[in-house]
Amino acid sequence: DMLRAILLYLSKATWARNLVTRWRFARRAASRFVAGDTLEEAIQAIAALNQRGLLATLDHLGEDVTNAEEAKRSADEYLELMDRISASGAKSNASVKLSQLGLVLDFDLCLDNMRRILRKASACGMMVRIDMEDSSTVDRTLQLRRALKGEGLENSGLAFQSYLFRTEEDVRASLAEGIRIRLCKGAYKEPAEIAYPRKADVDASYDRVARMMIDASQALGAQAPSPDGKIPPIVALGTHDGKRIQAAKDYAAKVGFPKQALEFQMLYGIRADLQNRLAAEGYPVRVYVPFGTSWYPYFMRRLAERPANLWFFLSNFFR
């Protein structure tokens, strides 16, 4: 639809970022989806989630860095972030975007940065989730993960998007390697040659791939997340869609898949009621917690997902 396309275009447009980030009310609206500017604020937000029985995955906002220095600094910030998680005892791991580590600039630069991150994560007993970005980055993302695995660094997980035609095959291959997967619908603007344009097809693909993940995890012994929250199970379903969640729960119950091995993930500030309910039912629930000052593209994708958020955004102007 038109509105989604416009908002996703604006999420990538420098002129729009420069404009919108100058508005105080935009920052105020974005704060619904962002845990704060600083690492300390994010760690406090995670403590509050942990108190509600929820796990977290911490994301330092930032993407599409423009030079090697910035990319290296992003990686350094992740090293610090993992130290803080460990020191604070937060039940959390980390999520990272490879474009933030220089993937689009230089593959080897990104590889170096991610290598440092995974070594530190390994020392912390943590898995790091690699977010999936627009379709032009999928091959390089898989290639980079494979290269690091070849060096013995296996503690990264992947995210896949059910709107892409290729995802079913990508997930099948990844499951065969025992990779931990987060399944989501996909948040970028993709052409109809490679992605389902109709929501019903994206949803059907989601349910199909979720069943595949449950079957594969069942065959591997259906592990739960680690009690310290640092290692997620094979199956993580990142969605706020009650129908997708119900379909996965029903299928899991039918095949005798344990609740403890079926992790649901949601974004900070979205459907807290559902997060609590699933946790009370006995499923692991992990909240994706973004923090930092580079909130613009993340915030715009959240607006694009739900037109009602646009009214929420504008209402902040009048407050």
By CB under 6 A, the residues from 168 to 187 that bind ligand FDA are 182, 184-187
CB of residue 155 to ligand FDA, shortest distance in Å = 18
Active-site annotation holds for 203:
no
- 150 CA to centre of own chain: 24
Reading the block at residue 209, the tokens are: 């791939």
Cα separation, 83 vs 47, whole angstroms: 15
For ligand FDA, which is the closer residue by CB, 95 or 113? 95
Query: What Å distances lie between residue 2 and 17, 135, 178, 305, CA to CA?
Result: 20, 20, 39, 12
Tell me the number of residues near ligand FDA by CB under 6 A: 24
Instruction: Give the residue, chosen from 99, 161, 174, 217, that forms a contact with ligand FDA under the rule CB under 6 A.
Output: 161
138 binds ligand FDA (CB under 6 A): no
188 binds ligand FDA (CB under 6 A): yes
- Looking at the chain, how many residues does it have? 319
Active-site annotation holds for 182:
yes
Q: Which of 92, 102, 98 is nearest to 43 (CA)?
A: 92
Q: Which of 162, 107, 174, 106 is nearest to 135 (CA)?
A: 162
Cα separation, 57 vs 289, whole angstroms: 6
306 binds ligand FDA (CB under 6 A): yes
Instruction: Give the residue, chosen from 43, 54, 121, 132, that forms a contact with ligand FDA under the rule CB under 6 A.
Output: 132
Q: Which stretch binds ligand FDA (CB under 6 A): 76-84, 117-125, 210-218, 260-268?
A: 260-268
Annotated active-site residue in 131, 180, 301, 302: 131
Annotated active-site residue in 129, 180, 182, 286: 182
Cα separation, 243 vs 196, whole angstroms: 18
Is residue 311 a contact partner of residue 18, using CB atoms and an 8 Å limit? no
Cα separation, 309 vs 200, whole angstroms: 22
35 binds ligand FDA (CB under 6 A): no
- The residues annotated as belonging to the active site are 131, 182
By the criterion CB under 6 A, which residues form the site for ligand FDA? 131-132, 159, 161, 182, 184-188, 238-241, 265-267, 270-271, 288, 302, 305-306, 309
